[in-house]
Amino acid sequence: MSILSFHHLIDAEQIQKSDIDKLFALAERYRNTDPKKIVEEGDCRGYILATLFFEPSTRTRFSFESAMLRLGGQVITIESGDSSSAKKGESLADMSRVMSKYANLIAMRHPEIGSVAEFAKYAEVPVINAGDGANQHPSQSLVDMYTIFCEKKRLNNLKIGFLGDLKYGRAARSLLTVLSKYSNNHFVLISHSSLSLGQKKKQELEKCKCSIEETSDLESVINDLDVLYVTRVQKERFESEQEYDRVKNLYQINKKTLANVKSNLIIMHPLPRVNEIDPEVDSMPQAKYFEQVGYGLYVRMALLSLMKKSL
Ligand code: NCD
């Protein structure tokens, strides 16, 4: 039996507070210990992680792979649909049965909503959803939660702004789900009406211990925030280039926008960024998106280490 409450990690909804406590305790140990010692201890020695990416990725794939190597494990990978038998028409079910013979853990990204859940149904080993279309990105929500935990020392009583593409942005959607399990968080959803979160998700959140406000006016809310989570407009999800062009540059964070924000605001972004954060912000003390990448490595190490215990 896994010490985590889930076997596969498909949806952020599965992540319980008790999972967060266990994962963060281990991530803290990995972060505060000499990496040579961690690799010698070899928490994943003898284990193979398969990373199956049918959509582009830099951080998610490399951080899972780096995490596995740092734990003494090994990695096999498919970098795109074109390099696997998916190209020949193999079903996800068959690929899952096959990959289960080669790997002890699988992290998978795919453009179709629900595809990773479908794959996991046939898997004999734990599967992590590394992004299924515009739906879910639960391991990113752990990265983001851990960043907030390290930087703000709490996961409740926060005013968190979510800016940009809340319709298609799976990272923001997954983070909202996990944060809503903690008390007294106030979410400020900042987007153009065509990129708003959607009624269903808002209703789900409203059932939780948090409150929500919606606006398209960043200026009116930014100075009150503890956390600003900026997202990229998800070009690849739009039906036409024209539709994307209409909304791609509606928001940009720069020194002027940030002139009166709280000194202890943290600005996060799952990355990659395009134009939504001006590089002049990078040197400001509030900019935490590159630290976020670093925290992400430790929490993914913890995730692999604890998920493999369920084998
Ligand atoms: C995000 C993703 O792929 O959903 N990136 C990531 O995993 N770090 C966000 C994005 O692509 O905009």
Which pTM value belongs to this model?
0.96
Residue 59: active-site member: yes
Q: What per-residue confidence (pLDDT) applies to 1? A: 46
- Burial class from Cβ neighbours inside 10 Å (0-12, 13-18, 19+) for residue 279 reads exposed
Q: 271 CA to middle of ligand 1, Å?
A: 6
Q: 62 CA to middle of ligand 1, Å?
A: 13
Q: 255 CA to middle of ligand 1, Å?
A: 24
Q: Mean pLDDT for each 10-residue chunk of the chain (311 residues)?
A: 86 98 98 98 97 92 97 92 73 95 97 97 97 97 98 98 96 97 96 94 89 96 98 94 92 96 98 96 98 98 90 59
Q: 37 CA to middle of ligand 1, Å?
A: 31
Could you tell me if residue 231 is left (phi over 0), alpha (psi between -120 and 50 degrees) or otherwise beta?
Answer: beta
- Identify the active-site residue in 137, 159, 170, 300: 137
Q: What per-residue confidence (pLDDT) applies to 79? A: 78
Q: Is the CB of 27 under 6 A from ligand 1?
A: no
Residue 109: active-site member: yes
Q: Is the CB of 131 under 6 A from ligand 1?
A: yes
Q: What per-residue confidence (pLDDT) applies to 125? A: 96
Atom of ligand 1 nearest to the CA of 231: 12
Q: Is the CB of 271 under 6 A from ligand 1?
A: yes
Residue 170: active-site member: no
Q: What per-residue confidence (pLDDT) applies to 90? A: 84
Q: Find how far residue 266's CA is from the centre of its chain.
A: 17
Measured by CA distance, the residue closest to atom 11 of ligand 1 is 272
Q: What per-residue confidence (pLDDT) applies to 206? A: 87
Q: Is the CB of 60 under 6 A from ligand 1?
A: yes
Residue 237: active-site member: no
Q: What per-residue confidence (pLDDT) applies to 294? A: 97
Q: 269 CA to middle of ligand 1, Å?
A: 9
Helix (H) or strand (E) holding 230: strand 227-230
Residue 232: active-site member: no
Measured by CA distance, the residue closest to atom 6 of ligand 1 is 270
Which of 302, 284, 286, 255 lies closest to 145, judged by CA? 302
Could you tell me if residue 136 is left (phi over 0), alpha (psi between -120 and 50 degrees) or otherwise beta?
Answer: beta
- Identify the active-site residue in 59, 201, 237, 273: 59
Rounded to whole angstroms, how far apart are CA atoms 270 and 250?
19
Q: Is the CB of 232 under 6 A from ligand 1?
A: yes
Q: What per-residue confidence (pLDDT) applies to 80? A: 74
Torsion sign, CA atoms 54, 55, 58, 61: negative
Q: ∠ at Cα 20 (61, 277), nearest 5°? A: 50
Q: What per-residue confidence (pLDDT) applies to 311? A: 59
Q: What per-residue confidence (pLDDT) applies to 57? A: 87
Atom of ligand 1 nearest to the CA of 234: 12
Q: 60 CA to middle of ligand 1, Å?
A: 8
- Burial class from Cβ neighbours inside 10 Å (0-12, 13-18, 19+) for residue 259 reads exposed
